[in-house]
Every structure is written in structure tokens, then in C-alpha cells.
Structure 1
Amino acid sequence: MSSNGNSSAEAGDGTPLVPKLRFPEFAEADGWKEIPLQKLAQPVTDRATTGYAGSVLSLSGQHGLVLQSEYFGKKIAGDSTDRYVKIRKNDFVYNDRTTKASSFGTIKRLSAYEGGIVSPIYKCFRFQPSENPVFWEWYFESGSHDPALGGLVNEGARAGRFNISVTQFLSTNAWRPDEAEQQKIADCLDSAEALIAAQGRKVEALRAHKKGLMQKLFPQEGEAQPRLRFPEFEAMGDWAEERLESLAKRGSGHTPSKSKPEYYDGGINWISLADSKRLDNGLIFETDIEISAEGIKNSSAVLHRAGSVLISRDAGIGKSAVMALPMAVSQHFIVWTCDDRKLSNWFLYHLLQQSKPLFDRAATGSTIKTIGLQFFIDLRFRIPSRPEQQRIADCLNSLDGLIAAETRKFDTLRTHKKGLMQQLFPQVGEDEE
């Protein structure tokens, strides 16, 4: 590919646009030309007939256009099907009530099915046969669009929603290259998306493998031995049932008075509900909020040592982590500091992860469910010998490391695709470099 510094022009002045990155065969080609969308596409207004028995489709912001159900002569959401719109493969759909003004990625192309019907809340349009629908799908996802569309959105927007009709949408302009360049861009981005999808499947397969392995490495409820053991421990017999408090020191936390600014921003990591997103990922390195030594001194908060294992007792019930540094916690967490001669902290972490169904059952409450302190005081688990604990922890930690590495690859591919799109499509209104 080649780079081109003449990247854009102001919308509406008729000047062709040139993307920052072009394939070599198009490096000397003319710039992309501005054209009204209504010359390339038209609204879809075909209505379903009464008693239509084909596929009913639903637009999902996360999953695109997906098969929702089959229609068997009954009413759907209180409407008869004669108000539904008939669409076919490669038609585009958006819901002006949910599509965000800031994101054109929720304008979806029907790609998985040959056709079907959609609720009248969806706005539908169809490109001419000469246009490449895959190119236009990527075009909308790239965010490259006429700034005039933003004006229409702002005029009718409610809570940041699109809130414009398909006719208004098609009255705006688009910039398009010739058919050969459209195809090249579509093929390139489809290939990138296929790589991302393959990497995503790899990550999910590893997660499923770990889940299945954990179910075998820990005894099932009512059993005294796991179904899978490392060879050196096969003759070791049953795991002993132990009260967790006999193996680890239980601790909790507190929230220093928020009316005292000197109790906060003092460099001591303090795990609160705001850190829920950081749990269930092994080590926790940082927190949203820090407290001070004064905050600990004047409250019931405690500084727990690095390596301590924590679990959430209410919001995000059962989520756990291992402290990478000395940290304090709020009253929403229980902390265990393991006696290393008896219990591996990493074994305990994985055991807590495997025991989430137990914690879900223990939670009570009508609005916010929580686990009472007595449950943790009485908590008992079947525990193997210290060497077997370490073997299991090392195995699962290695698998977690592999999952983390493959997840980073997945994220890198997505970031690469996003950056690629920003360069393959001219960004309207950018200053020339």
C-alpha cells in the first residue's frame, strides 16, 4: 500500500477525497468522488403480506442482523405482519431509536440470510446492483460520512440517538472510489475480520478448555476426589475437608469517611466496587481509588499484604483476585491471607473461581444480594496436599497466561483493523497534512 498526504477536503465543495492509504494499483487513480447517497441507494418499502411465514429478523447492536424466530401465522409484538418490511440479502437496516448519533457501526447489512421481514421500527435501504454492499458496510463502520448528517442528527436527536428517517439519511452525501477499489478494500477488510473472528474463536476455545479442565481438577459437589489428577497424586486418596479459616486468616475492609479529604489520595490502593472490572483476571495491580495512611488509622480499613486473595460478597458476587501489592478493601469484600505451609494462595484463587455457583446460592436479598459474614466463617472446602495444590495452581496459571496472550493478540488485531479503516477511508473534513 502507499501513503498519500492529501487526505481530505471539506464536505460539499466538490473536491475529490484521497485516503491516507491506498493499494499500489490505485496510487495514481483519481480521488474519491462526492455523490448523494440517494443516487446509489433507495429506501426499501416492500410490505409483508398477511400470513407471511418467513424469517423474522431482529437488529442487535452487538451481533448485527440475526435470526430471531419463525412466524407461524401469529401476531408479533402486537402487530400483524402486513406492517413489517420485507428485506433481502445485502439490504441495510438501522433502528433510529437505538442507533447512536456517534456511531454508524449499527447500520447493518443483512449478510447471513437470504431475506426476511423486520419490524416497521427499522429503517431499510438497498444499494443499486452496481454497488458493492460489502464496501458500503465497511464505509459506514469506518465513520466516514457527510458532516451534514451530523446536523440532521443534532436537529432531531433525542438522548444521542440517530432519530432521522431513511429518506433524510439518503439525502446526505458519500464519497466513493471506482468499483475495482471498492472491491479491493472490501476484500482487505473482510480478510482482517476473518483473522479477528478466528482469533476470537481461539480465545473462546481456550476459555472453554479451562472451564472443562477445572471441573475435572476439583472435586464435584458431594465427591471427595477430583476426576482428573496428575500422575504423581493418583494414589493420594481423598481430599480432606477443611474449614477455610484453619488454613488462612480472614479479613475484611471498610470505607474511610468520605467527608475527610485527607483520608484519600494517599497512595494506598483501595479495592472498591468500582474495581469490579479488574477482578477475575488473576492479579489486581491498581485501583480506581486510593486512600491514605490517615484513612486506615481512622477507620476499620486494613492494609492486607501482597498475595492475599479477595472475593466480592455482594455486587459482582463471587468475583475474586490476588493482590499484586499491599492493598486495602472496602466492606464489600472478604480477604484471606493464606498460611503458605498449608494453602497456596493461587490454589485458593482458582478454587474460588470454580466455586462461583456456591456463592450465588449463598447470596440473599431482594434488591442487592449479599453473602452474610457467617457463611464465610463457616466456609469449608475439600483441599489436597500442599504439593498437589501447587501443581494444580501452576497448571491453571499457565493456561491463564496463554489465554491472556491470545486475548492480547485478539485486541491487537481489532486495533489494527480500526487503524486500517481510518486510513483506507478518507476522513471528511480533516485538515490536509
Structure 2
Amino acid sequence: MAASSSSGRLVRLAEILTESRIPGSRGDTASKLTVRLYGRGVVAKADAGGSEETRYFRRRAGQLIYSKLDCLNGAIGLIPPHLDGYESTADLPSFDIAKSVDPDFFLAFLSRPSFYLRFKAVAIGSRKANRVPADEFLATKVELPSRSEQCAIAAVLRASRERVAAAEALISALTEAKRNVMRELLTLGAARDPARLRPLRERWVVGRVAEGVEAAPEGWRLVPLTRVARLESGHTPSRDRPDWWDGDIPWISLQDTERLQGLEIFDSAETIGTEGLANSSARLLPKGTVVFQRTASVGQCSIMGRPMATSQHFANWVCGPEIEPRYLLQVFRHMTREWERLQAGSVLPDIYMPTFKKLQILLPPRSEQLRIADVGEAFDRRLEAERVHLSELRATRDALAAELLSGRLRLPAAVIARHAGADPGARAA
């Protein structure tokens, strides 16, 4: 059983890996580690329990480790420095890596499904407990490029991962910045002047944008949301009537979760016809309706850009003259923690329709609603642009890894030459 990278030396893993069997502690005292699935790293094991009869082995930083039980699920990793000296049983064997192999390259190479799924034919046990023995693992042949090419590939992949991580960090920072800014706007107003605050006349129970809000700017009102917007649900026409489907009416369903990330939604994965609408409890809702996903990915929401219908998995709000849909959308998007609280007790992620009837909203004058919505939308547009950029970076990262690790793409000789002097005993930083 052989796996290829690029033109190079064909070796068995046993030639470049040496199993480590340093005696460790008893199972009831060992500091244990485990390997996450699909190449997501090696971590300390949360469960500290174990039998004192179980034999453990001490593991060292930089060693390769895999799970016999979950090898077919990509449970392969490198032991990080902070877990040096942690232990595992023989079911998670570890190996010292030959100096002729770059560990970063090697881990990326082994973490591909095209590598670890090769062991399906030799795994031992039942369907739910397929173990990959160490001797089968070590007998596998792989074709490896020179160490300098390994190091060059690892450096390119590392740079690609770092660009993805930087984009993810920027999105997290923007999300946190929006949360902080919107909390002030939704509780203090655009002026952000605490001197304008007046005590609320009633308790804010359901629909809070922040904890501990007991006052609001002068001229703001705490009102039931149903007083200023009409709550509508949706429905699914019978699937037994194909003639009710594939019509001209957009019908928002759980398949449209990603579309709800935009400020407006215009299209849907499925459509229904006039007969489907007439023979179900679905409603054709007007442009400007705020659509809120109340099941599965709870909290995804947008504004209908044209008349649309929805399934029963949505709570839809047709805004009256006192509330601006753009403002309501920003309120809903800020209420992440409140939506989590309102799901408490549900077996599945779900907020029941009666709960929406209890929602209260802090309502500024309409002109201030628009100013607040402008700020929230500016953040959302930037976040959407960064998410698109992140998606492109991830696609590039994955494509580079697939091509470089398979050998279908070779790096220029000049790039490889820059790594010719890499210390074979050191792992690239």
C-alpha cells in the first residue's frame, strides 16, 4: 500500500518512524493526552480517570502520534511542546521521526483523507471499532521528496494557513467591535450620553439587547414588539403535490441559512407556485419583512428584498410605521446571547413561536433608528467582504495543499534551493 507526494524516494513508514515505548505511570495517575479527529491537533485529555492496571507510555514533544481506533477519521498529529511528558496507552502509539523528514510536511501529508482512508482494507474490528494496527501503519509505503522540498512545501502551506488565521482574527475583531459599538447605540443612543437616560417604566424581561438595562434615553419606549410589528409564521406545502412546487414565489427554508447573512435576501433554494401558497398556511409576505430563523442555526436573519414566503422554521416580522426594518434587523443580530438564553430547555436548537409574542423592544424615534441601522450595516458590509475574502483564502489553502502534497504541483527549483541548508534535526518555525 503506497501513497505518493511528488517524485522522490519510496520508503516504508517503518524506515522513517521509530515507535516510542517509554514506560509511564499507572492509568489512575497519568497525565493523559488524546488526538483529535481530522488533523485538529493533540490535546490534553479532559477525563483524568483510569484503571491502575492500564499500562501507559510517556510521550515526547515532536513525536508523531495516531489513534488506532480513529485513524480512519484522521486522528493523526504531532505532540506539541506543552504536552511533553504526557502519556497515552498503546492504542495511541507515538513515533520518533527521522531527521530526513520535515515534521510539518509529514503531518500535512499524513492528514490527507487520501492517505489515512487507505487503511480501510487492513483495519481490524467491527464497523464502529475499526483499529489500524501499528505494524500495518508502519508497513505503508510513501513517496517523499527531498527534505529541502519538504521544507519548502511546509513553508508555503504554513504561510497559507497564517493568511487564513489572520483573516479569521480580523473577522473576530470586527465582530467584537460591532458588538461593543451596537451595545452602546442600542442602550445609550447615537449621542451615547448617559445624562439622557431615564428609568424604564417597566421591567425588560424578554428580548434584551444587554444585561442590567434599567434606563433608556429620553424619548425611547420599551414596548411589546407585536405592538409595532406583525408576527407571521410560514408553512411547507405538501411534498406529495409536485405541481405546487417550482413556481415563481421564493420560499425561504433551512437551505437558505447562508443567504440570511446578507442585509437583504432576494432568492431561495426552492420556490412554490400560487396553488402551493393557496393550499397551505404559508403567507406571501411583503418586501421589507424581517425574516428570522428560529430553528437549527437560530438567529440568522435578513430583510426580504421582494415578496417572499417561508417555511415554518421562521418567525417573520412585518414592520409597522413606528419601527424601521433595518433597525429591527440590527437589534436581532445583536441579541445573540438572548437567543441562546431563549433556547434553554429545547432538545434541539429552537425557539418556539409563543416566545416571540413576548418579545419587548427598546424603540427610539424613527430618525435615530435609521442612524443606528446605518452604523450596524456598515459593520455588516465590511464583515461580509471579509468573509468572502476568507472563503477565497481557504479555497487557495486547500487547493495548494492538495496539489503540493500529491506532487501534481512542484515548487520552482529556486524556492526549494532556499531550504537546502535547513537543519535536518530542527523543525521549521
TM-score range, shorter chain: 0.7 to 0.9
C-alpha deviation, 1:335, in angstroms: 0.9
Letter in 2 for 1:40: I
C-alpha deviation, 1:57, in angstroms: 2.0
Question: How many matched pairs?
Answer: 385
2:272 corresponds, among 268, 273, 291, to 291
Give the match for residue 360 of structure 2: 380
Q: Does 1:133 align with 2:75?
A: no
Distance 1:111 1:171, change over 3 A: same
2:247 corresponds, among 243, 247, 266, to 266
Distance in 2 of aligned mates of 1:306 and 1:282: 13
Distance 1:230 1:394, change over 3 A: farther
Q: Does 1:320 align with 2:287?
A: no
For the residue of structure 1 that corresponds to 2:151, the secondary structure is helix
Cα deviations across residues 233-268 of structure 1 (Å, max 9, x unaligned)?
979624212332332232221221222221222243
Unmatched runs of 5 consecutive residues or more in structure 1: 1-9, 20-30, 70-74, 220-224, 429-433
C-alpha deviation, 1:370, in angstroms: 5.3
- Pairs within 5 Å for 1:22-421: 31-50=7-26, 55-61=31-37, 63-68=40-45, 76-80=48-52, 83-100=55-72, 104=74, 106-113=75-82, 114-142=84-112, 145=115, 150=117, 152-156=119-123, 163-219=131-187, 225-226=188-189, 229=191, 237-276=218-257, 278-279=259-260, 281-339=262-320, 341-362=321-342, 367-368=347-348, 371-421=351-401
Give the match for residue 425 of structure 2: none
Distance 1:285 1:121, change over 3 A: farther
RMSD: 3.3
Distance in 1 of aligned mates of 2:281 and 2:361: 28
For the residue of structure 2 that corresponds to 1:135, the secondary structure is helix
C-alpha deviation, 1:289, in angstroms: 3.1
C-alpha deviation, 1:343, in angstroms: 1.8
Give the match for residue 205 of structure 2: none
Question: 8 Å contact 1:241–1:380 — kept in the other structure?
Answer: yes
C-alpha deviation, 1:359, in angstroms: 4.3
For the residue of structure 2 that corresponds to 1:88, the secondary structure is coil
Distance in 1 of aligned mates of 2:309 and 2:398: 38
Question: 8 Å contact 1:285–1:323 — kept in the other structure?
Answer: yes
Letter in 2 for 1:135: F
Letter in 2 for 1:123: P
Cα deviations across residues 27-53 of structure 1 (Å, max 9, x unaligned)?
xxxx31211111111223333134897
Give the match for residue 22 of structure 1: none
For the residue of structure 2 that corresponds to 1:47, the secondary structure is strand
Question: 8 Å contact 1:144–1:427 — kept in the other structure?
Answer: no
C-alpha deviation, 1:398, in angstroms: 1.1
C-alpha deviation, 1:131, in angstroms: 2.4
Question: 8 Å contact 1:144–1:426 — kept in the other structure?
Answer: no
Moved more, 412-421 or 393-402: 412-421
Unmatched runs of 5 consecutive residues or more in structure 2: 198-216, 409-429
Question: 8 Å contact 2:27–2:56 — kept in the other structure?
Answer: no
Distance in 1 of aligned mates of 2:146 and 2:356: 67
Question: 8 Å contact 2:28–2:49 — kept in the other structure?
Answer: no
Cα deviations across residues 194-213 of structure 1 (Å, max 9, x unaligned)?
22222221121111222222
Distance 1:247 1:110, change over 3 A: same
